[in-house]
Amino acid sequence: MMANETPLSDVRFLTVAEVATIMRVSKMTVYRLVHSGELDQLERISVSAAQDAPVRPGLIVWPEVPAPFSMQDPNFSERAQKIARDSAADFLVGIVDWKRDSAGKWLASNTAILLGPSGQRIFTYDKIHLVPFGEFVPYRRWLWFAGRLTADIGDFTPGNSYRVGKLPDGGFGVFICYEAIFPAQVRQYTLGGAQLLINISNDGWFGRSSAPVQHLMMARVRAVENRRWLLRDTNNGFTASIDPYGRIVAELPTDVRSELDAPYDFRTGFTPYVRFGDWFAFLCVAVSLAILIFAWRAPKLSLEQTSKLNRIE
C-alpha cells in the first residue's frame, strides 16, 4: 500500500442526497459567476431607489425565483440581507428553499420569504398550487417517462398553509405565479387577516404570447373579489400596482430592468365573496341542473295533443 493511499474501510461514500446537494451548490455558483454583474445591478436598483426616495419605502419586492436563488447559498443569502439592511425596508423575494424531511431527504419548495430591515428572515410561504409537468409530475408512478420535464431540479414539494405575513402597517398575503387563477385560495389570505395582496411571478416562460397579459388580467380580478390593493411583481415587466377596483394605477413597461414606485394601502372588511365563497355559483349550477332534470322528466305532449291545443286556442 502506498503511503498516500486510504484504506477502503476509511473511505466514506456520498449518499444520493449529498451528491444532489453538491450539484445544487455548483449550479448556484455557476449562475453567480456568470450573472454576477446583473445581480449587482439589481441590488443597486433596489437599494438606490429606496435611498433616493423622498420617503423610504416600507417594502421592496422581487419576483418569483427566475434563477437558482436560495438562502442555502451563503453568497445570495448575504446579498439579500444586505439589500434589506441598506434599504432599511422589508424585502420580499422568491427563492428555492431546501429543507430536510424526517428521513433526512432534501426537498425543494418554490418559496417567498420576507426579510426584515435588519436582514432577519421573518416570514416564509411555500407555494401550494404547483404547476403540473412544470414544477412536479402528477401520477409519476404511471407517467414515469415525463420525469425529465422536471429533472433540472426535481419535483417541488407543495406547501400546506395559507400563511399571512406581518408588515408594520398590516397583514399581507403572497401567492406565487399561477396561484393567481385560484380565487378560493386568494380568498383564504383575506379571511386570515391579509389587508394587502402580493403576487410574485416568473412570466418569462410565456415569451411573447398572450399568456402574460391574461395572467395580469386574472390577477386584477382577485383584487376586485377581495377588495384589496394588489402588488404584482414579475421578471419581464408585467409589474403593476392594482387598486381594490381592479384598476392599474402604476406599471412598468415590458422587458425593462427597472423599479416601480408602487402605491398601495391596507384595507379591512370582507366582500360577499370573501364571506361566502362560491356558494352563489354553486347555487346557480344546482338550479340549472334542477330545471334540466324537470324539463327532461316532464310529460311530453304528442303531436296530436299539441294540434288539439292549437285548435282550442
Secondary structure class of 313 (helix, strand, coil): coil
Q: Is 64 a catalytic residue?
A: yes
Query: What CA–CA distance (Å, rounded) separates 88 from 57?
Result: 8
For residues 106 and 98, is the Cβ–Cβ distance under 8 A? yes
Spell out where the chain has E strands: 59-61, 90-100, 106-115, 121-126, 165-167, 170-176, 196-201, 230-234, 240-242, 248-251
At residue 116, what are phi and psi to the nearest 5 degrees?
A: -75, 170
For residues 144 and 138, is the Cβ–Cβ distance under 8 A? no
Secondary structure class of 53 (helix, strand, coil): coil
Q: Is 284 a catalytic residue?
A: no
- Catalytic-labelled residue, pool 18, 82, 127, 135: 127
- Catalytic-labelled residue, pool 135, 177, 179, 225: 177
Secondary structure class of 193 (helix, strand, coil): coil
> Which residue is listed with cell 407517467?
143
Alpha helices, H only, 152-298: 183-191, 211-226, 272-276, 279-297
- Catalytic-labelled residue, pool 64, 135, 179, 225: 64
Q: Would you please indicate which residues are annotated as catalytic (active-site) residues?
A: 64, 127, 177
